[in-house]
Amino acid sequence: MKKYIIAAAAALAIGMALSACAKEGEAIVPIIVEGEAEQQTASTPEVTPEAAPDAAAQVSKTQMVEGTGYTATLTEDTDGDGGLIYRLKASAGGNEEELMEYTAGAGDGISAEVYEIDDLFGFPAFCFELSYPMGSERTYYIYANGGILKAGEGFGFESAADGDYRDDLDGDGIEELICNCTYMADGVERVYVFRFRDGRVEEGELDKYEDIVSEEELDGAGQISQRYDPDLRAIVFTYYAEDGDKTLELKDYERFTFSAYEV
């Protein structure tokens, strides 16, 4: 997957909204349980103040998620200049590791949260979501093979609730993670699919469309759009051609190339 710099993305962001999940495509949301009068979050992160280790940097709050076999902890520190430092750690099997660190400048309007999702590829899972004024970055983790594995990521104008979905398009009985992503500098839309095969996470890219348009014919990456539509339960590929748009509804991964997910 092509990488991007989130700070630059926040500066370039513009608003965009996507349709909500329906039918079989499941949106990625925190675990919710039914109550008599209303729904309540089952694994609401615990937020606790902590004492300041020094005047320049102090822990202002901690979020904790205790899932099956693991504990994920997100701390929010001030950096002394009005900025925030987020650190995500997880412990499993008696081992603890730092998964991510991100620094937000003063006035960036960036916040972060960690929350449990009911499962991913059949494993206990959680999501770290970094939100900025017009978009977000979502990173998924699973507890598998005795430890914590990075299992996928989404980014762009979308949030986890309206950009990332689980669906079993290959019919093997295990849902894949399908992420609608937008490169915010130029608005290019792409779909990335993550799955668990042979003890590892794989990432798939939709790159087999030579019968529709060749790379030589493309006038920029934005001439192609890729979006997963939960209503259709399909990945919609659109080529914006001069003689009219050409659209395909893909209900499998025959046009995808999968490889080991590089983390």
Q: pLDDT digits over 222-243, tens only?
A: 999 999 999 999 999 999 998 8
Torsion sign (Cα): 162, 154, 127, 171: positive
Answer with the residue of higher pLDDT: 10 or 63.
63
What would the mean pLDDT of 247-253 be, rounded to a whole number?
96
Number of C-beta neighbours around residue 97 at 10 A? 11
Q: Which residue has the higher pLDDT, 261 or 9?
A: 261
Mean pLDDT score across all residues of the chain: 83
Q: What's the pLDDT score for residue 131? A: 95
* 14-28, 30-44, 126-140, range with greatest mean pLDDT: 126-140
> 121 or 18, which is more confident?
121
Contact present, 82 and 96 (Cβ < 8 Å)? no
- How many beta carbons lie within 10 A of that of residue 58, not counting itself? 16
Please give the pLDDT value at position 263: 79
CA distances from 91 to 41, 73, 75, 203, 251 (A): 22, 9, 14, 25, 37
Write the single-letter amino acid at 113: E
How far apart are the C-alpha atoms of 203 and 11, rounded to whole Å? 28
